[in-house]
Chains A and B, each alone.
Chain A
């Protein structure tokens, strides 16, 4: 016991400076993230909704009357009783996978092209980055207008080449392709710039050495470029996956807030649970915790995979 105290004291003496410097952030995180998170977890174990949450109306204080229901909410969602969880999870996964795949491959392709010596390189670069400067909500509205069935520019263009109008935002399947297109348009520039940075940090000597050894362009790409990009790639793919999984504005604003469509992802659905109709705070919180858990499991798995890959090299 006394050794423990002594050790703590010694540790404090060495590290108090570092701790003091991270303290503000820790406090902010504890208050702004930790406490709401704890409360969110708690709400997910109750049947709280708009009617029983307790609030102040004028001078009257309505006490909270919701009760603890244990794992009921989780069981309700995960057993499939609620009905929409698994189809929505499937679509959310498909949405994330296709968006991140398209972001990464198109971004990589453009970065490889821009990394070559060519005329007008910096002009291409600036123009290709521009979508990144467009806030997501502006992009969502712009595309929604382009997708307009009767007056949209996309259908007008299709009409010119003799193709009939497409119901971009009506048909469930086309609607999904439409939102993926918007998000891809919006997300590629970030990946492109990040990969371009990664490409330029790969030492030239490696390519020259590979060329001496007679490596073909494809072999150079596989054995020099891809491994050299790994540090950048692993970060942007992880962040991109998390961001896309939780991508709120595109789905919410392009599809509209009426809801009830198949193209809603888990996040927008959970949001609607909390703020539409009888506000189901408990159900929404439960969805939130489930989403967070999925992402946590994914990150742990993903990081573990990267570590194993590094170890195998």
Chain B
């Protein structure tokens, strides 16, 4: 993976300091050496931040394993049971919603990455009339508030009979994800040396052949990250899904969970158990992808 960031750079000891130590009897205090008090302050600050970062997550997990009414006594630590989980999995539409979310987010991811890869490559390697406006368009597409597109899309999907269907929501999400994918992939392709393309051209490949045979395989990590990001965006979307999916069997997770905590009664036990079930796979995926996510994202912007 040819990301511009070498993640462990700061962990390697500084060469200058060690050679200095052998040459001079008194080594000046280096930038990364701290007094005991400074170390303590640093660790306390980081621990405080970690506690704040983890608190809501741990809290939700704890509430979820304390039964239907466990949430009413948040400070108690007793009565642990998995009843919320069995209820969510057995007695609600949770699994259907999960499946819907997976289908819709997965569909958006496939369409988004497939369509935008070649555009990202063209934008990265070729200078053509329309280059700058297109990059600008991608940025502008990030700015569309949900209110601009939602009514026209609602009417259009209604006219096409695509409301309350997977296809309709996938189409809608593509309006968000395609410009974003193209933007991120352009940034990623920029980090692949152009010599590779040149050697491909010398061997008689067409620009598209170079792209497909040489660059796409090299860009696999970048494609994966973009795909993952698109998936997550669609996975967590609320506004469109809430209006476009009207029957309970078509709800996505973001819509379905709202039914647990409606205005009249709130089933926080079910809500917390579902939240944990949603968070676990996401957190695992994240653990593997996070380092590359930002590299791809910021590369798109800094060299735009």
Using CB atoms and an 8 Å cutoff, list the residues of chain A in contact with chain B. 11, 14-15, 17-19, 21-22, 24-26, 28-29, 32-33, 35-37, 39-40, 43, 53, 55, 106, 109-110, 113-119, 121, 124, 126-139, 141-146, 148, 151-153, 156-157, 160, 185, 188-190, 193-194, 197-201, 204, 207-208, 211, 217, 220, 231-232, 234-236, 238-239, 242-243, 245-246, 248-249, 252-253, 256-258, 266-267, 270-271, 273-275, 281, 284-285, 287-289, 291-292, 295-296, 299
- Measured in the bound complex, the distance between the Cα atoms of B175 and A146 in whole Å is 35
Whether B239 sits at the interface, judged by CB under 8 Å, is yes
Evaluate whether A253 and B152 lie within 8 angstroms (CB atoms) in the complex, with A22-B118, A142-B275 already known.
no
B178, A11: Cβ atoms closer than 8 Å: no
Partner of B56, one of A185, A238, A266: A185
**How far, in whole Å, are A119 and B32 apart by their CA atoms in the complex?**
12
Contacts of A266 in B (CB 8 A): 145
- A residues in contact with B88, CB < 8 Å: none
A146 nearest CB across to chain B (Å): 6
Interface stretch (choices B78-86, B216-224, B283-291): B283-291
The reply to whether B122 and A21 form a contact with Cβ atoms under 8 Å apart is: yes
Number of A-B pairs, beta carbon distance below 8 Å = 322
Residues of A within 8 A of B150 (CB): 271, 274, 284, 288
0/1 string, B135-163, CB within 8 A of A gives 1: 00101111111111111111110100000
Q: Does B18 contact A (CB under 8 A)?
A: no
A116 cross-chain contacts in B, Cβ below 8 A: 10, 32, 34, 42
B245 part of interface (Cβ distance < 8 Å): no
* 21 cross-chain CB contacts under 8 A: A11-B129, A14-B128, A17-B208, A28-B178, A33-B175, A39-B155, A39-B156, A133-B283, A135-B279, A141-B257, A145-B63, A156-B74, A185-B53, A236-B298, A238-B301, A242-B142, A267-B145, A267-B147, A274-B150, A285-B148, A288-B148
Q: A127-B54, A266-B145 are in contact. List 19 more A-B contacts (CB 8 A).
A: A17-B208, A21-B208, A22-B134, A24-B118, A25-B178, A32-B174, A40-B148, A113-B42, A115-B10, A116-B42, A135-B278, A142-B59, A146-B59, A197-B4, A197-B5, A236-B298, A249-B236, A271-B150, A287-B147
The interface residues of chain A lying within 8 Å CB-to-CB of B116 are 25
Known: A121-B11, A153-B74. A256 touches B239 (CB 8 A): no
B238 touches A249 (CB 8 A): yes
User: Which residues from chain B contact A235 at a C-beta distance below 8 Å?
Assistant: 297-298, 300-302, 304
Most buried by A among B7, B154, B179, B294: B294
Say yes or no: B7 contacts A43, CB within 8 Å: no
* CB nearest neighbor in A for B173: A32
Residues in chain A near residue B238, CB distance under 8 A: 136-137, 248-249, 252-253
User: In the bound complex, what is the Cα–Cα distance between A236 and B154 (angstroms)?
Assistant: 31
Given contacts A22-B123, A207-B31, A292-B143, contact A194 B298 (CB under 8 A): yes
Would you call B271 an interface residue if the criterion is a C-beta within 8 Å of the partner chain's C-beta atoms?
yes
Interchain residue pairs A-B with the least CB separation, the first 9: A235-B301, A270-B147, A288-B148, A288-B147, A36-B152, A133-B286, A135-B236, A21-B122, A231-B302
Q: Is the CB of B155 within 8 A of A17?
A: no
B156 touches A36 (CB 8 A): yes
Residues in chain B within 8 A of chain A (CB atoms): 4-7, 9-11, 13-14, 16, 31-32, 34, 39, 42-43, 45-46, 49-50, 52-54, 56-57, 59-60, 63, 71-75, 115-116, 118-119, 121-123, 126, 128-131, 134, 137, 139-156, 158, 171-172, 174-175, 178-179, 182, 206-208, 211, 232, 235-236, 238-239, 243, 253-254, 257-258, 261, 263, 268, 271-272, 275, 278-279, 282-283, 285-287, 290-291, 293-295, 297-298, 300-302, 304
Shortest beta-carbon distance from B270 to chain A in Å: 11
A39 to chain B: which residues have CB within 8 Å?
A: 152, 155-156
Distance of B95 from chain A, by nearest CB (Å): 17
Which of A115, A141, A285 has the most chain B CB atoms inside 10 A of its CB? Answer: A141
Given A36-B153, A130-B54, A238-B301, do A248 and B142 touch, yes or no (CB 8 Å)?
no
- Take A127-B53, A137-B238, A142-B59 as given contacts and tell me if A117 and B11 are in contact as well, using a CB distance cutoff of 8 Å: yes
Assess whether B149 is in contact with A37, with CB atoms less than 8 Å apart: yes
In contact, A138 and B263 (Cβ under 8 angstroms): no
Contacts of A33 in B (CB 8 A): 141, 144, 149, 175, 179
Write the chain A residue with the least CB distance to B125: A18
| Complex Cα gap A8–B283 (Å) | 52
Are B147 and A284 in contact (CB-based, < 8 A)? yes
**Do residues A137 and B254 form an inter-chain contact, with CB atoms below 8 A?**
yes
- Given the interface pairs A19-B130, A28-B178, A194-B297, the reply to whether A40 lies near B49 with Cβ below 8 Å is no
